[in-house]
Amino acid sequence: MVHCPIFLKKEQGISITELLIVVAFLAVMTVLLLVYLNPGAQLGKARDARRKSDLSKLKNVLEDYYNDKKCYPSGLGDLVSDYIGQVPTDPLTKDDYAYSRSDCDTYRIYVELDYEKDPAIAEVGCQGGCGPGCVYNYGVCSSNVGLEPCACEHWWACQGDKPNDYGANKPTSCVGSAAVVRCNDSTIPCGTYEQCCTSCTGF
């Protein structure tokens, strides 16, 4: 009687080295995916889309109000009930949009978009800031006026305690470590030196 040899399959598990390689690979791919997708920027763009939509709706509602009253409202709260159920607010801060009325026939609404390279900012002329304090970069207004961009006849900036001389003008002071920019004879503090550089032109 002939006995055939029996070959048993040796079971092998995953080694620690192989497991570490897989984990490292997945970690690298996750980081690359996050960098590529940039979820923070995507969320900012989504909020900006909401802001633009809100301002577009408010613009239409304000025209309806004006057609009925022959005057724009003194505040957006005047639109509630008869023209709109609830006044929209900024999706991030939940603050009211910046509304101003010069007279019965003009209004402006300003907002700050998260995505600073949005082409809409240049389209409305707010690359260097718009509105009160030059802190906004987008807005809508009545058809008989435009938004109020920040234009500077003379400007200078300083950073920390080290003033920098630009042109014929020198800064007179600094506010802590923040830069200060002088626009149209009014001093406006801004967050960074780069912001001051891009906020004012015409030097």
pLDDT at 37: 66
| Average confidence (pLDDT) over 194-201 | 39
Q: pLDDT tens-digit profile of 61-110?
A: 999 999 999 999 999 999 998 999 999 999 999 999 999 998 999 999 99
Please name the residue ranges forming H helices in the chain. Answer: 16-37, 39-69, 119-123, 193-199
Q: Which residues of 124-146 are buried (b: 16+ CB within 10 A; e: fewer)?
A: bebbbbbbeebbbbbbbbbeeee
| Average confidence (pLDDT) over 167-190 | 40
Walk me through the domains of the chain, giving residue ranges and CATH numbers.
46-141 (3.30.700), 158-199 (no CATH)
The pTM score is 0.61
Share of the chain above pLDDT 70, in %: 65
Q: How many other C-beta atoms lie within 10 A of the C-beta of residue 185?
A: 8
| Average confidence (pLDDT) over 7-29 | 76
> Judging by beta carbons within 10 Å of its beta carbon (0-12, 13-18, 19+), is residue 148 exposed, middle or buried?
buried
pLDDT at 20: 86
Q: pLDDT tens-digit profile of 25-68?
A: 888 887 777 666 667 778 889 999 999 999 999 999 999 999 99
pLDDT at 27: 87
Encoded tokens for 140: 């809508």
| C-alpha count within 13 angstroms, C-beta hemisphere, residue 104 | 6
- Checking if the pLDDT of 10 tops 90, the result is no
What distance in Å separates the CA atoms of residue 48 and residue 55, rounded to the nearest whole number? 11
Average pLDDT, the chain: 74
5 conformational bin, left if phi > 0, alpha if psi -120 to 50, beta if neither: beta
pLDDT at 33: 75
